[in-house]
Structure 1
Amino acid sequence: FPEGGIRDGACSLLEGAPLRAGASTLADMAGVPIVRCVILGSDRLYGKRNWMPLWRTPVWIAFGQAISHFPELEKSVARARIEQELADGFQRLYAELRRKFQLTRDDLPHPPRERMRSQPKNPRRRLHRAAANAVDFAMCVSMNLMQSRHRLNGRSAEEMDRYVVECEKLTPHEYYAAPKDVGLVAAIQNANGSSLTWRSPIETEFPRNNVARADFFPSGRGKAAPTVIMLHALMSATHIGYRRWAAQFNELGWNACFVHLPYHYSRVPRGHWNGELAITADLIRNAEGLRQGVIEVRQLIGALRDHGYSEFGILGTSYGGWIGALLAMVERDLRFVALMCPIVNVEHAIWQNPGTAFMRRELRRAKIAPELVARHFHLSSPLHNEPACDPARVLFVSGDFDLIARPADIDAIQQKWRGSELLRFPQGHFGYRVMRETVMRLKERGF
């Protein structure tokens, strides 16, 4: 430690405090260069629970270029120059780590006394955590069982490489560009029932998935009312709950639209479960499914606008929240975007998420490296992008015990999308409280 000890908070040079003279003195006396190094996360090791077996404590390390000891300068001038170079270099490395790894507040240096401080025991909270973890774990097991039905072939790595190379040329606005669908406008004009169907602009190998569908629930105000577009979770069990929420939105004076996302509900190919094909080890199909969902919702919004509807809000959960976040990257005119437990960190979703253990095994077997997958994040990972709409109209909702959409990731994107709001509740990824609380918050804010 060139400082001669550990300093935290405002006393740390990472927060702008002056550098102690030890490092510059040693470099000058030894007549050797000095290499800058910033380590973040090691202060977590003060917490007792971080020494538990199998508990992973992430640590981030950055090295800078070597600094000369400036033998051509006078001793006092050389030491002052070394101190200045070190201080500036530490700040740059610190900023680089925060930016590159999307670090949250909890990842940044904390005093040892804070890390060692035991949290007051709350039996009720512990019970909530245990119940939430049990439900999340059970759902993760079922997701892995579903994924085990889908294996990659010997050409998967080559196909993925070609796909990524083509996608690297595109911006999000190009990738999610929505062609106008005249047939959809006509379907809205001539709709006798509540269902709208149209040909998806993305062709897949499954004919049933190539027909987009949205269930429309108009309010008594008709076109004068704003419209909320509901985007469901992955492998959503039933549409009944969404229909009930649609009725509540109608009572509030809103039109409601429930979108059948790719590979779900009416779009499930024969011989498969609801949502089974949306997320598997086939990352190209996953990406094209997300793309399909975003483009179809953009087509729906455009067609409704052409038909006289003017204001739109997005209400997305989990997988639907992921699509909603991608929509926010390309749609400027949205009244609100409420994202409940959304998947925003694709890197974690693939390589650390307990619900994708089988996927990881298949990807490694096919020799598809994380570095290759990361080259698509500029199109598929909300955490690596900025919103096109007003961030003040974005509401993030997370569960304290969520094992899939980690609270730390939701915190990180909320900080990056400056002006957005964050709500947190004591539940896991799979729960019903967040929907009720989210709608209440939207009402409070006058959306």
Structure 2
Amino acid sequence: MHAEGGTARATRWPSLLHRRWAGLVDEASFAWISLLQARHRPERTFRQRLEAYVDSWRGASLKEYYALPPGFSPSPSCTPRGKALRIRFPSPLPGPARRNRTAVFDFWLGPEGWSGPTMVIAHGLMSVSDFGYRYWAGRLNALGWNAAFMHLPYHYARRPFGLFPGEMCVTADLVRTAETLRQGVLDLRVFAHWLRAQGSRLMGGWGISYGGWVLAQAACVERVFDRLMLLEPIFRIEHAMWESPSGRGIRRTLERLEVSPETAEPHLRLVCPSLSRPHLKPEEVLLLGGIYDRVVPLRLLQEFRDAWQGCHFFPFPQGHVGYRLMRESLRIAQEIWPRDFALPRH
């Protein structure tokens, strides 16, 4: 009995340390995010603007909310950038910031060229370096896939001068937060349509946190993807803002402006993937979560899996901020979709 107790304690200690370390990393990240979000407080009359925005879309469908402008037909430019191509086109929803008015994707061609399968990688909120994503693009190329790294609104090449990457994406200005998501979905739809026209037969999405939110919402509008990997996606924005530690700064600001969760509640059906159904079969979706994640807790991910009719779901010991899920998701994808990663394909 003594030996068994010692073994149990030895097993619990790494788990406890892992949980505490994940908590510290997450808390430091949340504090930094709250500090940046405080720089973008909306005007005192914001509640009226929010109510008007919600009312203007009250009867709209997903297709209407995420519709491309009539006659919108961009001609993307492709310029070499190291081993990649940088693909640019005017965003169908330009927005106020000049540098954010152009959609940007970095593209690495795999061994099969434009007709090969393509994986669109969508990074997390306030991501500052694409070093790791370039590594994963190389791994995808080695597995026979093209890789496309999406510069989400207000990040990377789309970051306005003087601002931290992504600090304008999710703030107490809920109108801009919704419009930024809408812009990301529209940019992705345009890119997907163009890529299909180049001959791409199979399209996958690999989204992390905020990027997972954009990809999941796009998948509910039309069949953008044939495979979808979502890592701790922000699919319940009301929880992220009103209940999770990442939304503390936003909550304080909204409470001072007398904005309650009920004010924006009618709009949730247009911005929360958990309230819609994807244009994929359950077996075509892979969902990963962090056991210690308080932004997207496991209980909500399980509800999401059920809402999406039982997609693949795997939890791992990680907080919301971490790198393990990238490695695990690609490994699991090769196991559950072996034919997609089998070389040669012809």
Relative contact order: is structure 1 or structure 2 higher (C-alpha 8 Å, sep ≥ 6)? 2
CA distance in 1, matches of 2:104, 2:27: 31
Q: CA deviation at 1:399?
A: 0.2
What aligned pairs does 1:236-275 form with structure 2 within 5 A after superposition? 236-275=127-166
In 1, the alpha carbon distance for the partners of 2:193 and 2:41 equals 37
Q: How does 1:104-253 map to 2 (within 5 A)?
A: 122-179=12-69, 182-185=73-76, 187=77, 191-193=79-81, 194-253=85-144
1:419 deviates by 3.1
For residues 75 and 198 of structure 2, the distance between their equivalents in structure 1, rounded to whole angstroms, comes to 10
- The 1:434/1:192 distance shift into structure 2, 3 A limit, reads closer
- Establish whether residue 345 from structure 1 lines up as the match of residue 236 from structure 2: yes
- Secondary structure of the corresponding residue to residue 383 of structure 1: helix
- Report if the CA contact (8 A) 2:94-2:102 is conserved: no
- Normalised TM-score (structure 2): 0.91
Matches within 5 A, 1:78-117: none
- Residue type matched to 1:273 in 2? F
Aligned length: 325
Structure number with greater Rg is: 1
Specify the SS of the correspondent of 1:315: strand
SS at match of 2:39: coil
Contact 1:151 1:281 (8 Å CA) reproduced = yes
- Give the root-mean-square deviation of aligned CA atoms: 1.4
CA–CA distance in 2 between the matches of 1:224 and 1:151?
Answer: 46
Q: CA deviation at 1:357?
A: 0.8
Aligned CA distance change for structure 1 residues 245 and 373 (closer, same or farther; 3 Å): same
Q: Tell whether 2:286 aligns with 1:379.
A: no
C-alpha spacing 1:333/1:153, structure 2 compared with 1 (3 Å): closer
What are structure 2's unaligned runs of at least 5 residues?
Answer: 1-7, 341-346
Mapping 1:59-74, distance limit 5 Å: none
Q: What's the counterpart of residue 28 of structure 1?
A: none
SS at match of 1:322: helix
User: Is contact 2:230–2:287 with CA below 8 Å preserved after alignment?
Assistant: yes
Shift of the alpha carbon at 1:137?
0.6
Identity %: 37
8 A Cα contact 2:285 2:311, kept in partner: yes
Which letter does structure 1 place at the counterpart of 2:13? P
> Deviation string for 1:138-167 (max 9, x for gaps)?
101001111111112122111000100111
1:153-200 alpha-carbon deviations (Å, 9 max, x no partner): 122111000100111121112111235754335x25xx5551011111
Amino acid at match of 1:224: S
Residue matched to 1:310: 201
User: TM-score when scaled to structure 1?
Assistant: 0.71
Q: Check the 8 A contact 2:133/2:149 in 1, yes or no.
A: yes
Query: 2:125 corresponds to which letter in structure 1?
Result: L
Which position in structure 2 is the counterpart of 1:406?
Answer: 297
Say if 2:128 and 2:156, in contact at 8 Å, map to a contact too: no
The whole-number CA distance in structure 2 between the counterparts of 1:304 and 1:415 is 31
Deviation sequence 1:230-279 (CA, Å, 0-9, x none): 00000013101001100110010000000100010011111110111111
CA distance in structure 2 between the partners assigned to 1:181 and 1:255 by the alignment = 26
Correspondence 1:414-433 to 2 at 5 A: 414-433=305-324
Aligned to 2:332: 441
For residue 355 of structure 1, report the CA deviation from its aligned partner: 1.3
